Structure formats: C-alpha cells, structure tokens
Structure 1
Amino acid sequence: MPRVVSIYLPDLAIERIRRADGEGRLSADLPLVMIAKSGSQRWITALDRKARQAGLHVGMPAAQAQAIIGKLQFVDADPVGDAAALERIALWALTQYSPVVAMDAPDGIVMDTEGADHLQGGEELMLSGIVNRFHGRGLTARVAIADSWGAAHALARVGKRDTVLVTPGETVRFVERLPISSLRLSPDVVASLRTLGFQTIGELSSTPRAPLALRFGPEIGRRLDQIYARLPEPIEPIKPAELIEVSRAFAEPIGAPETIAKYVSRLVVQLCDALQKKGLGVRRTDLIVHKVDNTMQAIRAGTAKPARDVAWLTKLFKDRIEKIEPGFGIERLSLAAIMSEPLAEAQKTSSLIEEEVVDIAPLIDIIGNRGQRVYRVAPVASDVPERSVRQIGVATAPAGGSWTLHWPRPVRLLARPDLIEVIALLPDHPPVSITWRGKRRRVRRADGPERIFGEWWTKSSEFDAVRDYFVIEDDGGERFWIFRSGDGVDAATGSHKWFMHGIFA
C-alpha cells in the first residue's frame, strides 16, 4: 500500500524573502505582505504572522491593508522565484527521503515513502525529522502521511499540528470530518456545495453520486475516490537536470522475481557504464518500478562511498527484490543515480610485504540499507567533553580539530550528565560515596580534580563556569567519571551539584 507524505509550506513566499534579505532592508518588527498587481488592482498574496494577527488576509486589497496598518512593509510578489525555491526543496527531498518526490505547487511537495521510511527510523521519526530540519532553516512546515495523496494533502493543511500520522487503513476515520474545501475542488464548486448544505467530506461521500455528477460533472467523485485511496493518483517524480538514468520497457508485463532480478542486473551494468564515462561513482541509487495500473514502487539503495561495482550494486538490489509487489504486472523498470560523486580509477597492486587492507564499506552498506544509522566519531577542538566529539559520515574524512588530553577519558560518555548524590568535603576533596540511580557506592580510590573552564567565547553564560572532574573506583572495581559544577567556593562558578558523566572500561 502506498504511503504518501505531504509537506505543506504555508509561509514559503514570505520566509524566502526574509532569508534573501541579506542587507537587512526589511524590518523584523514590522508586518510584511507580498502584493500582486493586475492593472490598477493590487492585492495581498502572502503575509507574515504579524500581519495575520492584525486582521489581514490573502486576497485583501492593498489599500485596505495599509489603512488598517499604517507601517506596513510591501514586497512585490514573485511567483517565478517561489516556484524555483519549491523546486530546489523538492530536489533536496529527493536525495534525503524518497525516490518519488514531486512539487505540489504552489506551497508544498509530495512524496511516496513506501519502503523508504525505515532509512529514517520509521514514519514517526521521519515526520518529526522533516519538521525539525525545515525549522532549523527558518521555514515553517506541516507534514502529514496517509494512504493517499489527497488525504495527506488535506491533513497537512487543516489544523495546526506540525505532524499528522494516519495509520495504514485508517484514512476514512481521519478525513470524513474534514471540510469539503480540502478536496482540491475549484472555489466555485465548493461554494455551490456549501449552498446545498454540505460541510464535511463525510456528508458528501454518503450522498448518491448520480445527482452530483449530473450537476457538477465527474470531478467530485474522482476527488472523493482519490482521498479515500480507492483511485490511484500517480506522483510524477521530479528529476534533476544532470540525472543519470537507464530504463527498460517491456512489451509484455513482467512479474516473476527471477525475471525482475535478470533485468535489474542488466540495468546495473548500463548504469555503471554511464557512470564510468563521466568518471563518477554512485552514492544513492533508486530502482523505480512502473506498473500497468499506473502506480509506482521505488527501492532505494545507498553506499558508504562512491561505487560503480556491478556485482556489489546488483547484490544490494537483489537482496530487496522480494519487497517488490508487481500487482497486475510491471511495464517498465528505471534505475537512477540520485547522488553521485567523482570516482577515479584505482589500480590494484600485489605485495609480498604489505598486508591487504580490508574494506568494510560493503558491511556498512548492508547495515545502512537495513535502516540502521552508521557513523564515525570525529574530534572537535573543545575542552568541554560533550562538545569534543561530533558524528560524521562513515566515508567522510575528519577535518580540523584534535584531542590533546593529558587525563584519561571514559570509553562511554553519557548523552546527558546524570545528577547524583555525593558525600564529599569541599572544595578539593574527592567523594567518599556516591548514589547513582538509586544505588549507593562507596569510593575506594579517586584521582583528581581535573578543572575544566567554560567556553566564554561561545556562550557568555559560561564566563565564570567551572567543572571539577574526578575519576573514582567503587567497592566492586567499577570506575566512573564524575564532576562537580562549580569550584566548591564561589556560587557564580556553578551550582555545586554533582553529576555522573562517563563510565570507564
């Protein structure tokens, strides 16, 4: 069953203008609206939160808006620029989330994530991750996932929730109370239906189709079938201009796993030949299955580093061919290199002295394509322990930063320091005993303190901050890394509370 994600960007036009205002000509304290012109008429096409709170709305004449708010900022609408920004977002989503991504103009994108959500940790984590990544870039986003494009589109635009997750098979329960304006019908049809007394999609769907079709045509019935997932609505995926893609169409539909595997192998050979001509290796590859019922299914495979090894890429896809549901048959297979990087030819040499280097990239590829996140830890030039490491890609070379430590560090650093109860003589003596997670431990040996100062150049609140770290060993021989916030004398240096921060081997 398809799983469709709709990403709604309600303030894309305004936020794009704000982000592009590098010179600071637009005030952040004054309301901002975008104005469209046609002859002597001028009206609002987009507005920010402050303008909405003042009572303005899309479609309001500009003169009326200026009469309501004297200090109102105007910017000419730029639909071409908005469309270009939406296309860039869609192309970015293509590389991050799904092989099937399309623009849902003018204010959103749509994706078929069937079989791809496991790479993001599941649907719930995928939706929250999408919202967080957009928010981190200063863009407002509301995201919904459902069994159909129509349902996801409607749920993302109704209500104020950032994420809406419709469990498979529960579409009817989620959409039947939505307003009829969510059906993507023309405003004239929606107004006429409201005149007839229809308010919700459930009321409209329970009405006989024949009278509605006689008066309004087949569009209402088509939209109802689409939102309830009774009628497929194909998503035509967006494609980058430089995309390397090979495909194979079939005069007679295919469906047997052995046949699919045979043609996938041939497509991999063609794709690798095309990559070799351009000196590229693939990092992310999508197999698009086009079925005779006008639906698509996609399988994505990624590699830790650029690759164009035919045998290995073929194996990555053959291991997942059983996930393909041919239905009534497959009429075309496409293989596309969504992400590629330069890959130079390397000559293999043999030596009687040097040991052969074992490449673990295939193992990483297998784990990563099963949905597990694989990463490396790189050093960061920081004395604060939790800031001294960062996660990087497996094949990414660490850049900058190093560890120059004279004191031992634990093999396991807690994600967040745990508050502990301690009996200790201030200011410089180690603890006599600690209580961590309900268990009291007597300290047999201790080493310290190691004093770490706050990084006042990154956070002004850390100007006087101090931590005193101790390595302790309890009665059972377990060794821990604990610290006291503050120097034990001056309250300005910290709270003087104790925390567990790491565990030694």
Structure 2
Amino acid sequence: MARVISVFLPTWPTDRLRRRVDSAPSAERPLITAGRIGNRRLVIAADAGALALGLHVGMPVSKAQALAPGLLIEAANPKGDAESLERLALWVVERVSPMVAVDPPDGLVIDSTGADHLHGGEAEMIDALLGRLLMSGVTARIAIADTWGAAHALARFAADPTYLADPGQTDAALAPLPLDALRLPPAVVSGLHDLGFSAIGDFLGQPRGPLTRRFGPELWRRLDQAFGDAAEPIVPLRPEGLIEVRRTFFEPIGAAETIARYIGKLVAALCAALEERGLGARRLDLMCHRVDNRTQAVRVGLAVPQRDPARLTRLLCDKIETIAPGFGIEIMTLAATLAEPLGATQVSSLDATGPDLSGLIDVLANRVGPRGIYRMAPVASDVPERSARRVAPLAEDTGAGWPDHWPRPSRLLRTPEPIETLALLPDHPPNWIAWRGIRHRIRRADGPERIFGEWWARDAEMIAVRDYFRIENEAGERYWIFRAGDGEDAATGSHRWFLHGVFG
C-alpha cells in the first residue's frame, strides 16, 4: 500500500528570512512580510511571534503596526520563497526518499512507500525529519497517510506537530476535518457551508449528481484523490546535472525476471555515463512508472563510490520483491542521485591489501538501513560515555586512541544504573552491591580511579569527579562501578553509587 508524507511549513516565508546568514532579522521582534494586492498593502506572511499578537495573513499592514509596536516588516518575495522551497525539497530527497515534490506555496509531498524500514519505522522517520527541520529553524507539521490528499489535509488540520494515519483508515482520519482541508476553491467551500456541510464526513454516502451540477467536478475529484479512488501522481523533483538513464517499453512489463534483465541494462548504461565523468555512485534511485500513473521507487546506498555493473545490479535486484508492478511498468529510470569522484586504480598481486568489506556492508545496509551498520571509534575524552561514537563502517581513522592507563569493561551501559551498596568513605571499595534486585558480595576490588568532569563542556562539571572501582563478586563476575563525588565534599557529586560497565 502506498504511503505519502505531507510536510506543512506554516511560516515558511518568515522562517526563510530568519535563516539568512548575512542579514537575518532580529529574533526578539515579531516579523511579517508585506505586499500589495491592488492598492492595499497587506500582510502576506507572519511568524509565530506576530501570530501570537493577533496578526494574521490578509491584515492591512497599518493595522498590524498599530497592534505590534516594534514590528519588523520585510518585502514579500514569492519567487525567492519558491526557489528556497525547491532547495529544501532537494535536501529532503537526500535524506528521506527519492520521491519528493514541492507542494506550493508552503509544503512538500513525499512518497515514502517502502522507505520507512530504512529509518526505523514511520513514526521514527517523520520524527527525525521534523527534528532536522526544527534544528534548521523551520517550523513544520508533518502527517503520513495513504494518499497525497489525505496527508495534505491531516498535516494542516490534525498534526500536532505530527500525525500518523493507520494504513487503510483514511475514512476515519478525514471524516472530522473541515471542508477547507480538501483544497477546494473558497467559493465552493462557502457554498457547501450554506447547504449545511461542515466536515468531510458529511459527504460520505451523499449522491454525486446534485452537488456536481451545482459546484462542478472539482469537489468529487478532490474527494476521490483524498480517499484514493483517483490517482494523484507525485512528479519527483530532480537536481540539475543528474546522471540518469531511461527506458520506455512498448509493452508494459511486470515479471520479476524481466524487471531484473532491464535493471542490468540500465545499470550498464549508467556505469558508462559515470565512467565518462570519472565518478562513482554512492546512491542509486530506480523509478518504475506504472500504467496506472503511479510510481514505485527503489533506493540503494553504497559505502564507497562504485561503478561496478555486477555489484550495482545485484543490489537493485535484491529489491525487486518490493516493487509492485500493478498492471505493468511502462517506464524505468535509474539515477545516480549521489556521486563522488572515482579514478582508475592499478591493482597488483604484490600489494598487501586487506579484504574489501564494502560489498558486504552494502548488502547489509540496504537490508536493515544505513543506521544499523556502524563501528565504534574513540573520542578524546576521559568521561567514559563520551569516549566513543558511532561512525560509518569504512570511515577513515581519526588518529585518536582508546585510554590504556586503566582497564575498561567490554560492555559499557548506555547510562549508568544506580546501585545500593555499603562502603567506607572516602576511598574504600564497597563490601557488597545490589543491582537490578540481586545482591552481590564483593571478594576483590581495585581502585579508585578518579575521573574529573569536563568543565569546558558543561558548567555543572566544573568540580565534579567520579571514583571508579573494578570489583569481583563470589561467582567471579566483574563489574565497573563508581561513586559520584570525592567522598568528602558534597559539591563534587551526590555520593551515590552507580554501575557503569561489565567486564567480559
């Protein structure tokens, strides 16, 4: 089943102005954009601060200035807003799905069918997208549903700030929404209100003939699009200079073997184009345009630049089971949406090179998602939970090393867990600990190892310390525990005990 994400940007024009590097307006003062409609100078867009003061789109600028002293006013620039929205869409293409289009004037639409597993699920996918937008200074509301029309309506009238409609439950999700959610002309909405219609659910079961004669076909076209009874194709935005190959079929294809054969032909043509430019693909997007005006998209990523036809064909063919050809595929396009320089290399049997793991990494990453494949790299920090970070499997060595002056546990807990214990202050190890409801009597202990807080990272760590001990219980199990504080001065820590790791 198709799944579509709608991203609503309610204050996009003012957010775009706030994000300017050279001349961004003051963040403390409310901001509007103004433009002329006829002879009147009206508010075209307003930020959250202006809206909170009672300003709204369409208000005369003179009235807005009277209501909000100190109001910042910028000239409206619809062309600049549209160009920036396209750039934002291309940014989303790289991070979420290859099927992204602009939904002017204040939104994006994303066909996320089959892409959620690469992000940990639909909820995690839209939460991550929302977080990235908020960190970039862009206010957004996001909804995901079965159709473009449904997601568009839910993003604007139900998301707070996200909304996830269950698959197959479009009717229930749309029924309580107002008529404005259907993208109808204002005159049609006003006429429907005069007839007593107030919500989308009021149309369910109504005869079409009388309403069509009065309001035209647009009403039912929008309803059918929202409920999935009429197609509303998403034409994806493609960046300039994209390396892309295309195949059009005289007769639509649908068999997996046929799809695989033409994938191989497209890959060969794409690799030839990449070689001419001295590039290798880091991401491939395969678009299968069906005869029913729907598009199936497949995306694969690579750990290092590649233009080996056999490897790329194998990765794409592994995804054929996710393609639903429907009544047939009439056009297939393959694009290298992310490419990097890849020069020719001379290989010698005398060179002592390690095994090439990129092929295995590519297969695993495209099955479980790129975030599921990583390795740990050291970070220059004495604080244990900050001394390692996740990096790409084939990332270059940074040169940092692991602390070797004291042994470290093979398993470090994500966060230290509190334990109950009895110990003499300030420097003695505990006689016993109780962790997760189990009491352990200590037979051996080594320590303390004192670790100071990083005062340059957080003011709260200016004088904070931890005293770590390696302990061993009666069964020979070894743990890494610490006391928060030096055991004398309460300002250095709470003097509570925690278990932080387990030795193998």
**TM-score normalised to structure 1 length:** 0.96
Tell me which amino acid in the other structure corresponds to 2:318. D
Q: Which residue of 2 aligns with 1:417?
A: 416
Q: In the alignment, which residue of structure 1 is the partner of 2:484?
A: 485
Secondary structure in structure 1 of the residue aligned to 2:137: coil
Which secondary structure state, in structure 2, belongs to the residue aligned with residue 20 of structure 1?
A: coil
CA distance in 2, matches of 1:405, 1:49: 52
**Could you say which residue in structure 2 is the equivalent of 1:10?**
10
* Match 1:367 to one of 343, 364, 369: 364
Taking the aligned partners of 1:99 and 1:400, their CA distance within structure 2 comes to: 36
> 1:357 maps to what in 2?
354
1:463 counterpart residue number: 462
Give the partner amino acid of 2:368.
G
> Is contact 1:285-1:335 (8 Å) kept?
yes
CA apart distance, 1:344: 1.5
Does the 8 Å contact 1:120/1:371 carry over to 2? no
Q: Following the alignment from structure 2 to structure 1, what is the Cα–Cα distance between the partners of residues 23 and 495?
A: 45
- Aligned with 1:370: secondary structure? helix
- After TM superposition, the structure 1 stretch with the greater mean CA deviation from structure 2, 72-81 or 163-172, is 72-81
SS in 1 for 2:396: coil
- How far apart, CA to CA, are the structure 1 residues paired with 2:286 and 2:381? 43
From the superposition, tell whether residues 234 and 503 of structure 1 become closer, same or farther in structure 2 (CA, over 3 Å). Answer: same
1:497 aligns with 2:496: yes
Q: Secondary structure at the match of 2:463?
A: coil
Asked if 1 retains the 8 angstrom alpha-carbon contact of 2:254 and 2:328, the reply is: yes
Q: Counterparts of 2:261 and 2:47 in 1: how far apart (Å)? A: 54
Alignment of 1:270-281 (within 5 A): 270-281=269-280
Q: Distance in 2 between matches of 1:450 and 1:363?
A: 41
**Structure 1 position 408, deviation (Å):** 1.1
Contact 1:422 1:432 in 2 (8 A): yes
* Aligned equivalents of 1:58, 1:38: Cα separation in 2: 12
Alignment-derived partner of residue 391 in structure 2: 392
How far has the Cα of 1:322 moved from its partner?
2.3
Checking the alignment, whether the CA contact within 8 Å between 2:150 and 2:227 is kept in structure 1 is yes
Query: Deviations for 1:132-182, whole angstroms, at most 9, x for unmatched residues?
Result: 222222222211111100000110111351221111111111001110100
Paired with 1:243 and 1:174, the residues of 2 have a C-alpha distance of 38
- The verdict on how the C-alpha distance between 1:263 and 1:23 changes in structure 2, with shifts beyond 3 A counting, is closer
Q: Which amino acid aligns with 1:134?
A: L
For residue 426 of structure 1, give the secondary structure of its aligned residue in structure 2: coil
Would the aligned equivalents of 1:472 and 1:481 in 2 still touch at CA under 8 Å? Answer: yes
* Preserved contact between residue 8 and residue 156 of structure 2 (Cα < 8 Å): yes
Corresponding residue number in structure 1 for 2:141 = 142
Secondary structure (helix, strand or coil) at the match of 1:92 reads helix
1:208 matches 2:207? yes
Give structure 1 regions of 4+ aligned residues with deviation exceeding 6 angstroms. Answer: none
79-88 vs 430-439, which deviates more? Answer: 79-88
Once the two structures are superposed, the pairs formed by residues 236-315 of structure 1 within 5 Å of their partners are: 236-315=235-314
SS of the residue corresponding to residue 368 of structure 2 reads coil
More displaced stretch, 266-275 vs 123-132: 123-132
Cα distance in 1 for partners of 2:69, 2:39 equals 21
What is the CA-CA distance between 1:38 and the residue it aligns to? 4.1
Q: Secondary structure at the match of 1:488?
A: coil
**Residue type at the aligned position of 2:314:** K
Aligned equivalents of 2:21, 2:243: Cα separation in 1 = 35
Counterpart contact for 1:380–1:400, Cα < 8 Å: no
Q: Deviations over 1:341-363 (max 9, x none)?
A: 11121222113xx6552111111
Alpha-carbon separation, structure 1, partners of 2:161 and 2:474: 50
Q: How many residue pairs were aligned?
A: 502
Q: Distance in 1 between matches of 2:88 and 2:77?
A: 17
Q: Secondary structure at the match of 2:238?
A: coil
My pick for the range that moved more, 135-144 or 274-283, is: 135-144
Q: Which segment is superposed worse, 127-136 or 105-114? A: 127-136
Q: Secondary structure at the match of 1:365?
A: helix
Q: Secondary structure at the match of 2:181?
A: helix
Counterpart AA for 2:7:
I
- Once the two structures are TM-superposed, the CA of residue 405 in structure 1 deviates from its matched residue by 3.5
Counterparts of 2:303 and 2:220, CA distance in 1: 47
* Contact 1:205 1:224 survives alignment (8 Å): no
Partner Cα distance (2:399, 2:162) in 1: 38
Give yes or no for contact 2:291–2:330 (8 Å, CA) kept in 1.
yes
Look up the equivalent residue of 2:15 and give its one-letter code.
Answer: E
- Shift of the alpha carbon at 1:284? 1.0
Of all paired residues, the percent bearing the same amino acid is: 54
TM-score (norm: length of structure 2): 0.96
User: Do the aligned residues in 1 keep the contact of 2:143 with 2:159 (CA within 8 Å)?
Assistant: no
Q: Compute the RMSD of aligned alpha carbons.
A: 1.5
> 2: distance between equivalents of 1:292 and 1:431?
73
- 1:362 is matched by which residue type in structure 2? G
Give the match's secondary structure for 1:164: strand
Secondary structure of the 1:410 match is coil
Gaps of 5+ in 1: none
Shift of 1:299: 0.9
The separation in 1 between residues aligned to 2:313 and 2:27, in whole angstroms, is 53
Supply the distance in 2 between the matched residues of 1:406 and 1:390 (Cα, whole angstroms). 20
Within 1, Cα distance between the matches of 2:32 and 2:470? 59
Task: Note the C-alpha offset of 1:264.
Answer: 0.7
Distance in structure 2 (CA, Å) of the matches to 1:424 and 1:436: 15
Q: State how far apart, in whole Å, the 1-side matches of 2:198 and 2:2 are.
A: 28
User: 2-side partners of 1:395 and 1:79: how far apart?
Assistant: 44
Query: Is the Cα–Cα contact under 8 Å of residues 454 and 461 in structure 2 kept in the other structure?
Result: yes
Distance 1:342 1:476 in 2: 56
Asked if structure 1 preserves the Cα contact closer than 8 Å seen for 2:142 and 2:159, the reply is: no
